[in-house]
Each structure stands twice: as structure tokens, then as C-alpha cells.
Amino acid sequence: MRPPTGSSTTIIRVDTTAFSTPASTRPRIETGGFAMRVKVCTVGRSAPWLMACLLLLSIWFPAHAQLVPVTQEELLRTPDAVHLTARLQIVPGPLVEDALLKGVPLYFAWRAEVIRPRWYWTDRRVASAHRTLRLAYQPLTRRWRVSLSNEPADGNSGAGLQYALHQNFDNLAEALAGVGRVYRWKIADGSSVADGDPGDYRVEWRMQLDLSLLPRPFQIGVGNQPEWNIQREGRLALPAIQAGERVRLEETVIGEPSLASEPDAVPGR
């Protein structure tokens, strides 16, 4: 039907109005002029970026190492050698202890170096010593076994180490006491520090749980967990040779309980 002649007609523009119910799972539509935009947030697309950010944060902010207390630390210098004695109080966390009870062996690496500082060049390493201790739980006997190797693992499998000594313990605390103790450990020959004054040398030592020797499934992510980052290091000045030190060394080794002198220790095979 046509409007009457002479009358005016007004056309009103009507914009589409979008609405959504609070319980609706459909994306909300926003209008801006004649263009319509739909905001969709998908978690699946942002997941790779989220994982990448977490990985970068783990690299930038590594977990702090568990500081192992030192109860004894001293050097003994004889005409024939330099010996290190150190005692550490290793207390593992629940995750580490649970892994041990499940049959996962742990490897603790000791390293000591005799350094001669040089003001005109980099410091010179005149001697070094290594030892690796393997700690494992034996479910059949319910005892703990510590194996001693006088060579570094160097990131290889612990199965390739040659062990010189094995010793069994009744509980974990005693086994960790054996792992965290070195007594009169020979770290250098006397001839390597014969020249120069005692103050010209220093000894740097380090003990740490070698995470590279863990089984592959355990190596994923353990480096960023403080419970697994067990280590301690120290620095001592080289003392002077004292008179009669050789005789006192022989007498003390017999009476000092160590990994090599206790009756339950057996040679390695």
C-alpha cells in the first residue's frame, strides 16, 4: 500500500543487537558500527606459548642448591702427601628418600684440587683427586650399600665405574654419614707442592649429587627442584709441614672409623 500523496516518510535505521545469556557457552558478540567482532579465547592455542614461558623461567631462575652443613674441615700436609678430612651432614628430602626406597641408586661425587694462584695469569691446578660413592637400598636384606670408586663418572653411566670397596649399613642415616665423610683422603703428592711457601697454594673441594647419573626419567625436571640439588664446596689454605706428622697419621688412621676400616667393608670386585 502506497503512502498518501503529499505525506512525509521517515526511515529509521535499526542496528542489530546481540545478547547472550549468562549460562551460554557460545562466544560473546561485540558490535562496533556496522562491523561485528567475535572474541574467542582458546586455551589449546596458548598452551605451547605457556610451556615455553615456563621453560625460560626455569632457566633464568634455577633452584637454589640445598646447602649441606659442614661439621669438620681440615687439611694435613706431610712430606709425602696432602690429605683432606671433611664431614658433611647430608639430610635428603622426601622425594630423594622415596626414590632411594624405590631402588634408584644415587651417586655422590667428591672432587678436590690444589691450586696455585698467579697474579700475572690464570691460576694453575697442580693436583686433583676424585672419588664417586654409590648409595643404593637393598630391599631383600633391608640394608643400605655404599660403594666407593676412586675415579670420576664424567657424566657416563655409573655401571661403568670400577669400585674398590663396598660397605653395608643398617639404616639410611649411617649410610649418608659414610657418603658425606672423607678421612685423610690423599689429594696430592708432597712433591707437587714442594716448591714455594705454604701460602702459595690453596685447596678447593666440592661434594655434590651427580644428577647426570640418574635414570633418564628422573633427570627430567629434577635440576630445578631444591631437594635434588645437594652440594657443598669449601676452600682451605695449604698448611705447613709439621714435625712428627707422619707418625701421628699412622696412629690416627687405625683408630678412626672410616669407610675402609670398619669390619663390614669388603673389597670391590
Q: What are phi and psi of 148, to 5 degrees?
A: -110, 130
Whether residue 223 contacts residue 229, with contact meaning beta carbons closer than 8 Å, is answered with yes
Choose among 105, 91, 87, 65: nearest CA to 231: 65
In a domain, 114, yes or no: yes
Segment 16-42, tens digit of pLDDT: 554 445 555 554 544 444 344 434 334
Hey, CA dihedral for 116, 118, 123, 126, is it positive or negative?
Answer: negative
Residue 201 in grid coordinates: 697454594
Q: What is the pLDDT of residue 1?
A: 52
pLDDT tens profile 157-190 = 677 788 999 999 999 999 999 999 999 999 999 9
CA-CA distance, 188 to 205, in Å (whole number)? 12
Task: Answer yes or no: is 222 within a domain.
Answer: yes
Helix (H) or strand (E) holding 218: helix 216-219
Residue 120 domain-assigned (yes or no): yes
Report how far apart, in Å, the C-alpha atoms of 170 and of each of 139, 149, 167, 199 are. 12, 21, 10, 43
The closest of 54, 91, 47, 98 to 71, measured between CA atoms, is: 91
Q: Please, which pLDDT band fits residue 200 given cuts at 50, 70 and 90?
A: confident
Tally of structural domains, the chain: 1
Average pLDDT for 120-148: 95
The domain in which residue 259 lies consists of 69-267
In a domain, 252, yes or no: yes
Neighbours of 50 (CB within 10 A): 10
3-class secondary structure, 208: strand
Is residue 124 in some structural domain? Answer: yes
Q: Is residue 28 part of a domain?
A: no
Q: Is the pTM of this model over 0.95?
A: no
Please report whether residue 59 resides in a domain: no
Residue range 49-86, pLDDT digits in tens: 555 545 444 434 444 556 789 999 999 999 999 999 99
Q: Which three cell numbers stand for residue 70?
A: 659442614
20 in a domain, yes or no? no
What region does 123 belong to: left with phi over 0, alpha with psi -120 to 50, or beta?
beta
